[in-house]
Structures are given as structure tokens and as C-alpha cells.
Amino acid sequence: MNITVYCGSNVGLDPAYAEAARELGAWIGESGHTLVYGGGAKGMMGVLCDSVLKHNGSVIGIIPDFLATPEQLHPGLTETQVVTTMSERKARMIALGDAFLALPGGVGTLEEISEIICRVHLSLTAEPCILADINGYYQPLYRMMEQMTERGFYEPEHLAAIYFAKTVEEIIEILIDANH
Ligand code: AMP
């Protein structure tokens, strides 16, 4: 399957975040799946892509032309797709994905996974939407979404359809289930 992963262009302060990216990348490579991601060489993106490639996996990087510089673009991508806008990138990453996952990241990651959360809400996607809640990273977002349901802006069944996975093992279980 094509696994679309959104994640930070930094590694963050807790080494558990990069460790999760390495573990997930190793599993994607070893199990013959393809990583679809933003094509970056830095931060969590670079760690994840390096790990997939190290474990003989394929990686499709989709990057807007203004970011496709030698410093930003990962040099080892199996396939590079250069697009002109962030919106075009996001649309292609969605079109290609059989599952959607956010590892820890910043506002870019939040923006990207928010679109998937909305698509689940609107029943536009049946593919799993997973937040890698490593050391509780996504708990504040979960609480915000819980508050949305409590205050009548969001439905509990839609919140329940979003996976908040505590470990990479949990993420892998969800992905294996989705692939059956
Ligand atoms: P952030 O979470 O703010 O670090 O942004 C990361 C997300 O935004 C990634 O999933 C990418 O799709 C995109 N992004 C941000 N910075 C870069 C970069 N330098 N190269 C490629 N993609 C990037």
C-alpha cells in the first residue's frame, strides 16, 4: 500500500519522535509498502525517508518547486514529483494514499492532517487517518476535538473514527488491518 505520512521538518526535542520515524520507516521498507511524503531531507521527514530506503523500501516524494532545492530535497527518493503549489502537493499526497498518518510535527503537519480529519468527517475517505500520539504529543489536539463534540461542533462518531495511536506497534496493527 501507499502510506502517506506527514511529519515535521524538525526532529523536535524528544528523541522518541525520531525513534518512532525510524521504526515506522523500517517496517514500511521491510514489508514492501511505499512511503508517500513531502520529499524533504530535514528533520522527521529525513529520518523517516532514510529509514525506508535503508530497509529497501520505495519512497515517493512530492515537493513544490520552491522547496525543491539541493538543501531541502532528499537526494535518495525512488520517485520525485515536483509540483507548483502546496495545494497541488497536498492533493497528490491524498490521491496516492491508501492510509494517512501524522507523526509529530509543526503547523505544516497539522495543516496537512487536518484536511484528512475533515475528509473523514465528510465521509470523503474510507482510508485510516492516524495520529502518532508519541508520548502524548497529539493529546492537546484530541482534547480540542473532544471539546468540539461537547460544544456541538463535531460528532462523537467522527472523533472515534480518527486513530490516536500511542506506539508504532499500534500504528502498524491499524495499517495491517486496513490492508486486508
Ligand atoms: P512542519 O510540521 O511545520 O515542520 O511542516 C512539515 C510538513 O510541511 C511536511 O509534512 C511537508 O509536507 C511540509 N514541509 C515543511 N517544510 C518542508 C521542507 N523543508 N521540505 C519539504 N516539505 C516541507
With a 6 Å cutoff on the Cβ, whether 100 touches ligand 1 is: no
Cα distances from 30 to residues 50, 52, 53, 73, in angstroms, run 13, 8, 10, 24
| pLDDT at residue 133 in the model | 98
What is the reported pTM?
Answer: 0.97
Residue whose Cα lies nearest atom 12 of ligand 1: it is 38
The b/e string for 152-175 (b: 16+ C-beta within 10 A; e otherwise) is eebeeebbebbbbbeebeebbebb
With a 6 Å cutoff on the Cβ, whether 42 touches ligand 1 is: yes
| pLDDT at residue 65 in the model | 96
| Helix 15-30 with 168-178: angle, nearest 10 deg | 30
| pLDDT at residue 180 in the model | 83
Grid cell at residue 20:
518512532
With a 6 Å cutoff on the Cβ, whether 29 touches ligand 1 is: no
With a 6 Å cutoff on the Cβ, whether 8 touches ligand 1 is: yes
Sheet hosting strand 163-165, strand order edge to edge: 79-83, 58-64, 34-37, 2-6, 99-102, 129-132, 163-165
Encode pLDDT of 70-110 as tens digits. 999 999 999 999 999 999 999 999 999 999 999 999 999 99
- The SS3 call for residue 70 is coil
**What stretches in the chain show pLDDT beneath 70?**
none
With a 6 Å cutoff on the Cβ, whether 108 touches ligand 1 is: yes
| pLDDT at residue 14 in the model | 98
Q: Ligand 1, closest atom to CA 109? A: 2
